[in-house]
Structure 1
Amino acid sequence: MSGVVVKQKKWLLSDRQVALVILFCQLLLVVAVATLFFYLQGEAAARSALLGGGIYWVPQCLFSVRVLVHSAERSTPGSVVADFYSGAGIKLGSTILLFVVVLKYMEVLHAPLYTAYALALLMQWILSFTLNNRY
């Protein structure tokens, strides 16, 4: 009996599609976590979770825009590295700024805030490692 070779069609996402999928999944996760906190602990916990998730999500959006704004055809290796470094700097700076603003000027519950932040970060790692088997 001869063996039949079945080729699996492997779909690949572009870098922009991967970034959008990750951002969308993180946003869904943050909303789901905030909803869970709302039902378990009330409005203040849900608001804190939204702020914590936002502290991760907004800088990630800024990073993605910075890195993906240039087309690959016109980019040099040096410009890609420069975009990643500047994107990382923007992400770090905006994360620090958002933490300072939220913790100094808003009344938040720390457990929901840090839980949502950590889950959004974990979602980033998981999706980065699994989408397109790139990493």
Structure 2
Amino acid sequence: MGRDLVELRVRDGNLADSGSWIYVWMLEGHVIYVGTTGLPPEVRTWLHLHDPDPDIGRVRARYPGIGIDSLDVIAFRLPESMPRPHAKVAVIDHLSATGLLSEHYVGDPPQHRPVEDELSSLLLLITGRIVRSEAG
């Protein structure tokens, strides 16, 4: 049954327990966009694809191949103690340094900040998953 049932909890007028996520949009083994969200990744992906507001549907607004290319989105849950903006900067910097940003990248530019130890395992996890998807 696993994915056949989804329970959503609304508490105090907001979606609860959806977690904190960082996600990468991939084209042919390279990343075209990096984002973070407190929404379920499926919801945020749908908004990127369908919302006409360019501040919400960022990938739709920025990536001209959205209706043609085969893209994959991979999301990783962040620890609650890790600030999403901090993680996003570190991931973008790391992907840039390792050559995994696509020539078609449409996200925030790298800031080239030093990597903190607390982010090392996240960076290895994301890089490993991207490389595995490129290989197979």
**Under a length normalisation based on structure 1, what TM-score does the superposition of the two structures give?**
0.30
- The structure where strand makes up a greater share of residues is 2
Greater Rg, structure 1 or structure 2?
1
Q: Between the two structures, name the one with larger relative contact order (CA 8 Å, sep ≥ 6).
A: 1
Question: TM-score if structure 2 supplies the norm length?
Answer: 0.30
